[in-house]
């Protein structure tokens, strides 16, 4: 991310929405009594890889839209949500549906992989569509005109 966007602030903005789903999943695993095993640790790497893909898609579109909006961060975030929001939702829902299929397995590790990855992807979709735009606006506050 740092190489792609050349900004520490964008790097931090991209990490926060991707760490929160993993923390929530770890909390749900602890609450549900699911032990950390190789089959359940796999959830974190798979879900993080997919969630970062969504974040990169959002941020690349943001970066492309910023000059077209004259550097207006709020207008750029609105345009980015309009252009990539639906594709992010559809992609996430298709992936969630694909992983939900694992819940019908008779093997406990595969069931856990299915529902925990689906949960992580759902939370990642929400954080990337809600929290990431807020963070982008927060690190680039609108300039006040006098």
| 105 in any annotated domain | yes
- List C-alpha distances in Å: 116 to 1, 15, 17, 137: 26, 20, 17, 31
| 40 in any annotated domain | yes
What is the structure's pLDDT at 70?
A: 85
What is the structure's pLDDT at 44?
A: 86
| 86 in any annotated domain | yes
| 60 in any annotated domain | yes
Taking the CB of residue 28, how many other CB atoms lie within 10 A of it?
15
What is the structure's pLDDT at 34?
A: 84
Determine contact, residues 123/25, Cβ cutoff 8 Å: yes
| 132 in any annotated domain | yes
| 24 in any annotated domain | no
| 14 in any annotated domain | no
Which residues span the domain enclosing 86? 33-139
| 103 in any annotated domain | yes
What is the structure's pLDDT at 143?
A: 67
pLDDT tens for the chain, 146 residues long, are 666 767 778 888 888 999 999 999 999 989 988 888 887 788 888 888 888 999 989 999 998 998 898 888 899 999 999 999 999 999 999 999 999 999 898 887 788 888 899 999 999 999 999 999 999 999 887 666 55
Look up the pTM and report it: 0.86
Would you call 68 exposed, middle or buried from its count of C-beta atoms within 10 A (0-12, 13-18, 19+)?
exposed
- When divided into structural domains, the chain yields a total of 1
């Amino acid at each position: 991310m740092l190489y792609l966007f050349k900004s520490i602030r964008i790097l931090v903005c991209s990490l926060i929405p991707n760490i929160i789903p993993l923390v929530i999943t770890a909390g749900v695993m602890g609450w549900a009594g699911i032990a950390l095993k190789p089959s359940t640790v796999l959830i974190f790497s798979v879900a993080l890889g997919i969630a970062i893909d969504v974040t990169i898609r959002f941020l690349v579109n943001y970066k492309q839209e910023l000059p077209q909006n004259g550097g207006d961060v709020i207008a750029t975030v609105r345009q980015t949500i309009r252009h990539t929001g639906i594709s992010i939702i559809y992609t996430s829902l298709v992936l969630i549906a694909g992983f939900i299929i694992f819940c019908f397995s008779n093997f406990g590790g595969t069931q856990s992989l299915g529902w925990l990855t689906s949960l992580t992807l759902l939370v990642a979709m929400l954080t990337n569509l809600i929290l990431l735009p807020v963070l982008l606006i927060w690190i680039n506050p609108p300039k006040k005109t006098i």
